[in-house]
Amino acid sequence: WSWREDGSDDWRASPDMSRWWSMSGVGTHMLDQILWFLSPGCGEVVEVASVLSRERWGGPHDETAVVALRFESGATAEFCSSVLIDAPSRFELYGSEGWVVGRDVVSEGGAGSVESRHGAMAFEPADPYLGEIDDFARAVRDGRPPEVDGHMGRRNCALMLRAIG
């Protein structure tokens, strides 16, 4: 995922406001998606490696971050987040039994396309941000834990710290 910034005045670029730039904008969401897809069958992340770029504006935060993960099962994942590239969002999931590619599905509108080795996959577009808020409100109303709790958020932040400090 990426989006192109025209300057370094985005609040995420400020060391007073954020610890990360591209990672806090979109990288955190990619990490959540990877954990959601892989953790149930592959276990926890056991190794994290990254390459960062800060050269365009020379600030303290990641302008581009490429992060690689290895899970307990040996499965691997990688993602790239950037504020330098204006490109469509895309995810690719490959496994021993098949593959899935999503184009522009993880966005405010939730539209786009998903294809597997079996062909196009139908789905109902939904705004993922509204879904999070709706689930949280329902959890409070119904007295149940939300689907994504603080432990998952802490896990995400811990992995981002391992990736880029």
pLDDT, tens only, 50-81? 999 999 988 888 999 999 999 999 999 999 99
Q: Is the pLDDT of residue 109 over 80?
A: no
- Give the model's pLDDT for residue 81: 93
Q: What is the average pLDDT across 140-163?
A: 94
- Give the model's pLDDT for residue 1: 63
- The pTM (predicted TM-score) of the whole model is 0.88
Give residues with Cβ within 8 angstroms of 137, minimum separation 6. Answer: none
Q: Read off the pLDDT of residues 8-32 as tens digits, 9 standing for 90 and up.
A: 888 888 888 888 889 998 899 999 9
Furthest C-alpha separation in the chain: 48
Q: What is the average pLDDT across 35-44?
A: 96
Phi then psi for residue 150, to 5 deg, are -60, -30
Q: Is the pLDDT of residue 2 over 90?
A: no
Average pLDDT, the chain: 91
Q: Mean pLDDT lowest for which of 85-89, 151-155, 156-160?
A: 85-89
Q: Is the pLDDT of residue 44 over 90?
A: yes
